[in-house]
């Protein structure tokens, strides 16, 4: 498979109904600002836990977000 064919196949997969890309990242300063507002230290562990909590919410758990 050529690169062009591989890219075309990937695009075809992404544009199917209920498919796509979800960007779930924030810059360190942005997340630190959010955490500071609620008294949480911004560490790698707290950021990871925060993202996990978001995706464990029922609205995400019932979808095909992976």
Cα dihedral: 41, 44, 46, 52 (round 10): 160
Residue 37 lies in a domain: yes
Residue 1 lies in a domain: no
Q: What's the pLDDT at 62?
A: 63
Residue 58 lies in a domain: yes
Task: Tell me the torsion sign for CA atoms 21, 23, 24, 25.
Answer: positive
Residue 47 lies in a domain: yes
Residue 40 lies in a domain: yes
pTM: 0.55
Residue 10 lies in a domain: no
Q: What are phi and psi of 56, to 5 degrees?
A: -90, -10
Residue 15 lies in a domain: no
pLDDT tens profile 14-63? 888 877 677 777 888 999 999 999 999 999 999 989 888 887 877 766 66
Number of structural domains (the chain) is: 1
Q: ∠ CA(10), CA(12), CA(61), 5° rounding?
A: 80
Residue 66 lies in a domain: yes
Q: What's the pLDDT at 52?
A: 86
């Amino acid at each position: 498979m050529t690169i062009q064919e591989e890219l075309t196949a990937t695009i075809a997969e992404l544009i199917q109904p209920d498919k796509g890309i979800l960007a779930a990242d924030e810059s360190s300063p942005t997340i630190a600002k959010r955490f500071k507002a609620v008294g949480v230290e911004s560490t790698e562990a707290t950021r990871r836990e925060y993202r996990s909590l978001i995706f464990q919410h029922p609205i995400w758990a019932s979808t095909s977000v992976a």
